[in-house]
A and B are shown apart, each in its own frame.
Chain A
Amino acid sequence: MASIEEFMAQHHKACDARFAEAEAAAGGGDWTVAGRLFKAFEKEMAHHFEMEEAVLFPAFEERTGMDGGPTYMMREEHEQMRQILAAMTAAAEAQDADEYLGQAETLNILMQQHNLKEEQVLYRMMDQQFGGEADMLLARFDEVGAA
């Protein structure tokens, strides 16, 4: 039986790896590589948001009737992360290392505490709610585009 917590926590790690690669390249001043790695990271993040906002959150909200609760907070934080990602895109285009690294530092803390709350609370609540139906939900991720 699949677990939402396990699957999604794994994907958080995948996003982390891409983040760190892009940051290292930007810190090293290699903007051709950094730009490419940042795009890959951004794509991974977009896919993660999509899995949650198009599949997991609506299913959870429908099941529990809680649409102003935890999922609302998580959507708000996704919005904040999208804004930082936009600022990082601009910084990567301008090849501005200070701006890129400062935004990356901010994104990292926001992203990590967000992941912690999802992994330690929200995904566990989802696994409790869905149990054996988790497989069906995870299968629907293909509909929102593969990573």
Chain B
Amino acid sequence: MLQPGLKFEQAPPISVPFRFFLSAPVFGLACAGLILWQGPELFASRWTPSALAATHLLTLGFLASAMIGAMMQILPVLVGAAMPAPRVVAAVTHVLLVLGTLALTGGFLLLQPVSLQAAVVLLSTAFAVFAAAVGASLARVRTWNTTVGVMALATIALAAAVALGATLAASLGWGLALPSASIHDLHPVWGLLGWIGVLVIGVAYQVVPMFQMTPAYPSALTRWLTWTIFAVLVLWSGARLALGEAGAPLASALGLALIVAFIAFALVTLGLQRQRRRRQADVTLDFWRVGMACLVAAGACWAARLLVPERLPDGFDVFLGVLAIAGVALSVINGMMYKITPFLVWFHLQSIVARRTTVPHMRKILGEREQRAQLRAHLAALALLFASPWWPLLAYPAGLALGVSMALLLRNLIAVVRAYRETVDRVTVSSSG
């Protein structure tokens, strides 16, 4: 039987992933602005309206956007699963995601039920359209491999996180009673560990060996890890929802199993990267290492929260959230953008110019120096953000540093788009002249 696949012409138009990548740092800037505006109060508790708004500007506006953009690119190319009507799906998902994120954060900040109601409708529709498109393209895959399985699991986890989040927002928006208080914990865990965690792990299996020429991940790990994480998440959710207080010891044990799985992944990744064949300095590699170090730290913090909750200081939950969202997810996804976006531009230019002019190489599309400058700003922002739950006045420099980092990222992504435009223009001028 001959599989589909290898049809690189299935790659979607360049506008499909780029609209998601470009709007990500704009939401990052909005988050930085919010931190500067609200100051120390934002880090006082995970329940303050400004903390909820800032969190969702990053998770929806930055992380989900960039990951959806990347998935729309990866599915057809790496998995060989063409997505139906990619332009339409991208446009609809993107507009609804942007509007929904604004409605949700506006609803939190202004305490406006109508705004939260609108957010529920907009975001549920955005993710439903995206998940349906992923489902349709995965249904066309005839041979399932690890990557395909990971994509499917991550999308199911996304659907769970969205459904749980919609339940929470609906309870605020319509004043309904929550079916269970555990949903407050289930929502972030499905979003961060299920959707982001599983997708990052699955993508790492492919790209970590690719980018730095490291050995492959051990096959025992690639075969079982994401499925185990997913199954434990299901059991953990069941224990939290169905057993209540009686299920607490079981839920803690399952939580510890998740921590072990993620820390194992982080340590294996750092170990493989140490054995890399390519020894040149690399900004994406540095972003990955920061992300993996934060993952180990976040795992240790969550373990402390499970084992010795009574001994933890105030601010610990906020610290854990910042560690996981900014330290792990933002670092890894920001770093990946520096491989994905210049390569995509190079790739699309190759087919457009068809040997009429030379295509600039990746570092001419985006220089190493510009990437490293943003990495430094990102590291400064992380250090200050991590300190802000403990020393509240640091919220101001933290907001500022995050703003600088996001502005530099936006500048870099615009430079990538400009390199694309300039080469296309050169070809159009020379062929019409």
Contact = CB atoms under 8 A, between A and B. Distances in A.
Interface residues of A, number: 37
Interface of B: 1-3, 5-9, 77-78, 80, 145, 206, 209-211, 213, 277-280, 339, 343, 346-347, 350, 358, 361-364
Interface in A90-114: 98-99, 101-103, 105-106, 108-110, 112-113
Given A80-B350, A112-B210, A125-B2, 16 more contacts: A20-B213, A24-B279, A27-B280, A64-B2, A73-B8, A84-B361, A101-B280, A106-B343, A108-B211, A109-B343, A112-B209, A116-B78, A116-B206, A116-B210, A117-B6, A128-B1
Contact of B280 (A23, A120, A125): A23
Interface of A: 16-17, 19-20, 23-24, 27, 64, 66, 69-70, 73-74, 76-77, 80, 84, 87, 98-99, 101-103, 105-106, 108-110, 112-113, 116-117, 120-122, 125, 128
A20 B279 contact: yes
A106 B346 contact: yes
A66 B2 contact: yes
A27 B277 CA distance: 13
Contact of A122 (B6, B78, B350, B364): B6
Given A80-B350, A106-B362, A116-B206, A27 B279 contact: yes
Contact of B362 (A64, A105, A121): A105
B211 A125 contact: no
Contacts of A19: 213
B5 A98 contact: no
A94 B313 CA distance: 60
Contact of B6 (A16, A74, A106, A110): A74
Given A102-B361, A105-B363, A16 B213 contact: yes
A60 B3 CA distance: 14
| 9 cross-chain pairs, A with B, having the tightest CB-CB distances, nearest first | A102-B363, A20-B277, A112-B210, A70-B6, A102-B361, A106-B362, A106-B361, A121-B5, A103-B361
Contacts of A23: 278-280
Nearest to B8: A73
A66 B2 CA distance: 10
Given A106-B362, A113-B210, A73 B6 contact: yes
Given A112-B210, A122-B6, A102 B362 contact: yes
A80 B350 CA distance: 8
A16 to B, nearest CB: 5
29 contacts: A16-B277, A20-B213, A20-B277, A23-B280, A24-B280, A27-B280, A66-B2, A69-B2, A73-B7, A73-B8, A76-B8, A84-B361, A87-B358, A99-B361, A102-B363, A105-B361, A106-B361, A106-B362, A108-B211, A109-B210, A109-B362, A112-B210, A112-B211, A116-B206, A117-B5, A121-B5, A121-B80, A122-B6, A125-B3
B339 to A, nearest CB: 7
Contacts of B1: 128
A125 B6 CA distance: 11
Contacts of B343: 106, 109-110
A57 to B, nearest CB: 12
A43 to B, nearest CB: 19
Contacts of A110: 343, 347
A109 B2 CA distance: 26
B145 A120 contact: yes
A53 B280 CA distance: 32
Contacts of B145: 120
Nearest to A84: B361
A76 B362 CA distance: 19
A140 to B, nearest CB: 23
Contacts of B339: 109
B240 to A, nearest CB: 38
A125 B77 CA distance: 18
A39 to B, nearest CB: 19
B6 A102 contact: no
A121 B7 contact: no
Contacts of B211: 108-109, 112
A99 to B, nearest CB: 7
Nearest to B278: A20
Contacts of A101: 280, 363
B368 to A, nearest CB: 8
A102 B209 CA distance: 19
